[in-house]
Structure 1
Amino acid sequence: MKLDIRHVTHYDYSAPLQYALQSLCLTPQASAHQTVLDWNLSAPGQLFAQRDGFGNLAHTWSLRQRTYRGVVRASGVVRTHASPALVDACIAPEFYLRATPLTTATGALAALGRRHLDGPADEARALALALDVADRIAYEGGRTTTRTSAAEALALGAGVCQDQAHVFIAACRAAGVPARYVSGYFHAPEAPSLASHAWVDVCVDRAARRWLSVDITHRCLMDERHVRLAVGPDYAACSPIRGVREGGGDETMRVSVDIGVLPDVPETLPETAVLTAQEP
């Protein structure tokens, strides 16, 4: 599937913003699952690219001037290949056994992991755990925040894709199975609010560093509707946009993500990302 993606984040401030610093994990990379045909990223300041500790292509920018608004734009075309199995040699899978504040396993989470992962992780066990998590965490927006932990979401019984991913990851790690958070996009024309999405990678072969991508919200393996952006131990480590600011008063953020399907004809474009920096 050939997907045309437009992701825009507008910021408005009630008082002059004095300084801002942001890190952006908004650049997809080529893999067995996807080919990046074109990608553009822009921000109010000059972009500086770097490879973070998890292998993601991240960009930082800073701004030191009085302003009441700003905008970050990411857009491009990605061809997906519906390959849910990936090999990643960047970090040893054992790193993703470490608990984080968002994925610390309580007794209930540990029991959930033991119930489904009583042996080496494979597709059947991973999907069974995903279905159980989806049943336990009803998808409801507005019930949780980006700071809600896996234990809190499980106790609440509701949340969004981020919460479902954290519960799955915590259960896996408690059972001794490496798992990590994946941020990205999902083509859902019937539910555009799900365009900005999150799912999980579970390690099914440590020696080969082979991972299987599972979407808890949609109860399936990653398929051609998914575009990967970044991976990390949890949401806090690979959120699409994070940063700090000085001044600005109250902040209002407006986010739009539009994904369309383009005719999939042979292309000659290189697998690259074209980066620009513009004023809002």
Structure 2
Amino acid sequence: MKLDIQHETHYEYSAPLRYSTQSLRLTPQPSAHQTVLRWALQVPGKLFAQRDGYGNEAHTWTLARRLWRGAIHAAGLVETHASPWLVDAPALPSPLLYLRPTALTPFDRQLLNIGAQALDGAPAERNLLALARLVRERVAYRHGVTDVMTSAVDALDIGAGVCQDQAHVFIAACRARGVPARYVSGYFYAPDSPALASHAWADVCIDIPGRLWLSVDVTHGCVMDDRHVRLAVGPDYAACLPIRGVRHGGGEEAMRVSVQIRPAAP
């Protein structure tokens, strides 16, 4: 499927912004799952490309002038191939990196118990999908009850959250069972639910020496298919934020985000 993606983030400030530096992870990369036919970023400054420690294509830009409002635009055309199996290049970090706990995906007895219910022996697609089902039973999909700092343990205690929270619980449960797992940020084409356009799911390492990963969408209970477009990976959400930055001045900030995804015209 060819998907046309338009992602806009608009900022307005109550006082003049005097300085800002931002790091972006808003560029999809080619893989067995997707072909990037065209992609462009537009920001109120000069972009500098770089590769981060997890292999993501990142960009930074700096603004050193007065600004009351600004916008970041990411847009392009991506063809998806519905390939949930991915093999990391040798230059990327070892899958063992994704066994370590983080602040958002800590080790916890609850998470170990959830993982133990589904992951018996070597991980396989069927038991990973069973684990995804268990996570959805424990963390119902609901907006407005968590935030970007909610950990996997907090989401379990609340009993609800969004795709980010469900992915964190799933990832932490895998790691607690000794299975490497990582967070994936990206887009999801859901014509009937545009609020799901910005999405998160998980990669699970099936074969550590072979660097073979299976990508699992916990929220939808499926493996990655042609509705998914990958942006970045990392140990958790904090490692692959679409936009992260610091600023001086600006007073109160108002942010508005719009993501539109539609099949490309023939």
| TM surpasses 0.5 | yes
Point out where structure 1 has 5 or more consecutive residues left out of the alignment. 265-280
2:249 and 2:150 mapped to 1: Cα distance?
26
2:155 and 2:243 mapped to 1: Cα distance?
22
1:39 and 1:206 mapped to 2: Cα distance?
32
1:175 aligned to 2:177?
yes
2:29 match? 29
* Match among 204, 207, 230 for residue 205 of structure 1: 207
Deviations 1:40-88 (A, max 9, x none): 1011110000000000000000101111111000000000000000001
Matches within 5 A, 1:4-153: 4-89=4-89, 90-153=92-155
RMSD: 0.8
Point out where structure 2 has 5 or more consecutive residues left out of the alignment. none
1:143 and 1:127 mapped to 2: Cα distance?
25
Match of 1:21, SS? strand
1:131 and 1:231 mapped to 2: Cα distance?
22
Deviations 1:132-165 (A, max 9, x none): 1112111111110100000000110110000000
2:192 and 2:28 mapped to 1: Cα distance?
24
Identical amino acids, percent of aligned pairs: 66
Match of 1:184, SS? strand
TM-score by structure 1 length? 0.93
Match of 1:167, SS? helix
Matches within 5 A, 1:179-190: 179-190=181-192
Which structure 1 residue ranges, 4+ long, deviate > 6 Å from structure 2? none
Residue type matched to 1:49 in 2?
A
Aligned residue pair count: 264
Is the 1:105–1:150 contact (alpha carbons within 8 Å) kept by the matching residues of 2? no
2:81 and 2:174 mapped to 1: Cα distance?
27
Match of 2:73, SS? strand
TM-score by structure 2 length? 0.98
2:194 and 2:97 mapped to 1: Cα distance?
34
